Amino acid sequence: MKKPISKHEYQKMVDKKAPGSHIARNIFAAFITGGIICSIGQVVLMIAENFGADKDTAAAVTSITMIFLGAFLTGINVYDEIAKFGGAGASVPITGFSNSIVSPAMEFKKEGYIMGVGAKMFLIAGPVLVYGIFASVVAGLLYFIWKQVV
C-alpha cells in the first residue's frame, strides 16, 4: 500500500471533483422569482395608494400583505417549492422572512406551544432579528452623532 494521503491532499481532490452549482441558472431563477414577488408587492402598494392611503400607510399595507402571502404559501406547503426553484430570490424578500418563521412554528407544534412553537419559532429568523436590530441601533447612533456634528 502507498502512503496514505493527507487531509490537505484529500480536500484538494474533493474540491477538484465536486460538482459545482449551476450559477447562471440559479441567478436567472432568483432574478425571476424575486422579480415576481417584488412586482406583486408593487401592485399591492399601488392598489393601496389608489384607495387613498398615504405613502407610509401604503408601505405598511404592502408589508402586511406580503408577510401574509408568505405565511399562507408556507402553510399550504407551496413556499418551499418556490424557494427550491428561486433560491435567494425567494428567501431575501419579506415573504422569505415570513417563511422562515412560519415553517419552524409548523414543524415544532408537535413539541407543544411552549417548548415547541414558542421556543423554536425563531430558530432560523433569530440571527436575522438579533443582528438586524443591532445594526439598526448602530446606524441610529451614527445618525445621532452625525446630526450633533453637522
Partner 1 sequence: MAKRLGSQTVVFDKQPIILSGAAIVGKKEGDGPLARYFDDVVDDEYAGEKTFEAAESRILKDTFSKALEKSGKAAADINVILAGDLLNQSTAASYAFRDANTPFIGLFGACSTMSESLTIGSMLIDGGSADYAVCAASSHFCSAERQFRFPLEYGSQRTPTAQWTVTGSGAVILGKDGQGPRIVCATPGKIIDQGIKDANNMGAAMAPAACDTITSHLKDLGRSADDYDLILTGDLGSFGSSMLNDLMIKNGIDMKNKHKDCGTLIFDLEKQGVNCGGSGCGCSAAVFSTYIMNQFRQGALKRILFIATGALMSPTRSQQGESIPGVAHAVCIEA
Residues 6+ apart with CB under 8 A from 77: none
Interface with partner 1, residue 23, by CB under 8 A: no
| Residue 17 is a binding residue for partner 1 (CB under 8 A) | yes
d(CA 47, CA 92): 23
CA 22 to chain centre: 21
Q: Is there binding between residue 65 and partner 1 (CB under 8 A)?
A: no
Smaller CB distance to partner 1: residue 45 or 83?
A: 83
Residue 87 gets the label, from left (phi > 0), alpha (psi -120 to 50) or beta, of left
CB of 60 to partner 1, least distance (A): 24
Task: Say how far residue 3 (Cα) sits from the centre of its chain.
Answer: 47
Quick one: which segment of 16-24, 38-46, 59-67, 139-147 binds partner 1 (CB under 8 A)? 16-24
Residue 5 and residue 19: Cα distance in Å, rounded? 22
Q: Which one, 77 or 136, has the nearer CB to partner 1?
A: 77
Place of cell 405565511: 71
> For binding to partner 1 (CB under 8 A), which residues are involved?
1-2, 5, 7-8, 10-11, 13-14, 17-21, 26, 74-75, 77, 79-80, 82-84, 87, 90-91, 96, 99-100, 102-104, 106-108, 110, 123-124
